[in-house]
């Protein structure tokens, strides 16, 4: 199901949107939908990562468990070489 959502933009922004739409052979509507979808996806990902980081920090604060520097370095080096092995 789709619903209409209206936003107000100043004349300069509207002109830029229309100019871009013409330039890339898309509609202003397509640009706005794409921009909104990409923004929401990026912000949702950022929020998931923030929550994961907080959970990891809380786990560390409660247990003191951490990954040693050498272990993390070795794992990152394997990842850089394209190896997809567990970090432990």
Q: What is the pLDDT of residues 41-53, one digit of tens each?
A: 999 999 999 999 9
Distance CA 42, CA 27 (A): 23
Q: Name the token pair of 63.
A: 């247990």
In tens, the pLDDT along 51-84 reads 999 999 999 999 999 888 999 899 899 989 988 7
Distance CA 62, CA 56 (A): 10
Helix axes 11-24, 28-63, angle to 10 degrees: 100
Q: pTM score > 0.85 for this model? A: no
Q: Name the token pair of 11.
A: 């004349």
Distance CA 28, CA 32 (A): 6
């Amino acid at each position: 199901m789709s619903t209409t959502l209206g936003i107000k933009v100043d004349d300069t922004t509207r002109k830029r949107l229309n100019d871009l739409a013409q330039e890339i052979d898309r509609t202003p509507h397509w640009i706005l939908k794409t921009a909104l979808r990409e923004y929401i996806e990026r912000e949702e990902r950022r929020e998931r990562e923030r929550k994961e980081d907080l959970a990891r920090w809380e786990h560390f604060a409660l247990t003191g468990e951490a990954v040693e520097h050498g272990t993390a370095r070795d794992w990152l080096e394997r990842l850089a070489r394209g190896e997809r092995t567990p970090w432990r």
